Structure 1
Amino acid sequence: MQKKTRFPAQILPSVAAPKNAPVRVAGGLSAAIAQTVPSTAIQRGVSGYSSMVASQPVGAISASSQQAARERMVKRLAVLDGVHPAVIEAMRLVPRHTFIDSALVAKAYEENSLPIGYGQTISKPGVVARMLSLIMHVYAHAGARIPGRLLEVGTGCGYQAAVMSHLATEVYSIERVRGLHERARDNLRPLRVSNLHLLFGDGMAGFPSGGPYAAIISAAGGEAIPQAWTDQLAMGGRIVAPTSTDGGRQVLIVIDKTPSGLRQQALEAVHFVPLKSGVD
């Protein structure tokens, strides 16, 4: 039994990226990797989500209206196809404005990605809702909480990790940039989230001590899905991650681990920061 990590942080040593062969994304999927069963929810694109949400601006936000602005945000997200109700409720509970710079608070609940320092951004609310819903739909039978552990690669400012903490029994989130790891720790400390563990280390290597994971979600995109992630994924689990194709495009990839092997589906084009190995 893995000893529970003490919140809000565990410092990990730098871990080299796994050398064994990754799961690559080609223009055409290989016969060994079958596509997942199509569904309306999984086929809907992030670009479609963004345009629908952006058409309903929030406007400036004062300190007294932040809660009202958050309610408007979740109401906009709730009407989009495929967004899981549990994700909507989790995003209602997490104050997004506390994870960004004070100068940008007025934009906290708009459909924008915002800078968080170190060349990184906090994802648009619609993108967060889209990716987390892709995970939640796998566990629809479980109700509002996934009965297992989630791994997030790329903690950033900590917002998505906070949302995930409302969706699963336990969440591990790993960040390779020390400054962002420390910022996320400071952002999350006031929330006292007992089931969320922040790790400083190489996300490409995952965190084997916390596995197997019911799902793995990445906030950065590489040329391939690291083998370590599929190794640490539980049977029946799902990976949601941006990945580059042979043609140079970055697309959202969903991988399901089944008794018959890995089933993969390439979804819409996306734009995330590069997935890197090592720590800074």
Structure 2
Amino acid sequence: MAGDHNALGSYLRSRRTRLDPAVLGFAGGRRRTPGLRREEVAQRANISATWYTWLEQGRGGAPSAAVLDRIAKGLMLTEPERAHLFMLGLGRPPEVRYTPADGITPRLQRVLDAMPFSPAIIKTATWDVLGWNKAAAALLTDYGQLPREQRNILRLMFGTARKRVRREDWSSVARFVVGAFRADVARAGAADTDEVTRLVDELCLLSAEFAALWQNNDVVAHGEGVKCITHPEAGRLDLEFSSFAVEGRPDLGMIVYNPATPQVAQRVRELIEAKAD
């Protein structure tokens, strides 16, 4: 098949043929094929009609990211479709476009609630906690009792004495958290946003320790590890954690904590069941 040799051209043709010319302001009448004409796509993308034709024909070399972005807008592509366009045209996904999250879907909340004895949270790239389950409220922090602006892991860690008391290895954990935060905001394309700048400035004023750690420019991965907490009722609890990406949402991540031993699991279960009564 000809499309096998020009996947980009085949994809572009398939996307433009699904669009309704009349809805987009182009004259109707008889058309030999459905959808937009090549010159109409070029007009919507603000590029040369000749250049767009060459792209569909597999001529003219690789397009730039800017051109692909304009074509994606002109063809009204969804984010997954835009990412696929970049993979075909440049062999890489597009740069992440950061959009601050306001909340999570009911479906994501049900995922959290399906783990009754494993604390789990959904956090943003700036480490605001948007979702949590009952186990997280019982063992980690009852985010529902906090004002929305205080549901931030970094604000809680560097501005709350209670957090330091519960963590024996607070200094090493703080170093890890700041390095992981730096990696998260960069991955989400948020490193230079006003939101992150304001948060970092606030934390630097709030905590000399945060300011020093931020100045170090350390970056760490935080896919998995062990979190040791001292709970006021259950005592020391060792929890293994794993981090997961939320598909299609580079600004969100899920962290799930599981008891590291059967003994800890039993204490966790008893604590959660007692709070549920």
TM-score range, shorter chain: under 0.3
The structure with more radius of gyration: 2
- Select the structure that is richer in strand: 1
- Select the structure that is richer in helix: 2
Q: Structure 2 length as normaliser, TM-score?
A: 0.25
Q: Structure 1 length as normaliser, TM-score?
A: 0.25
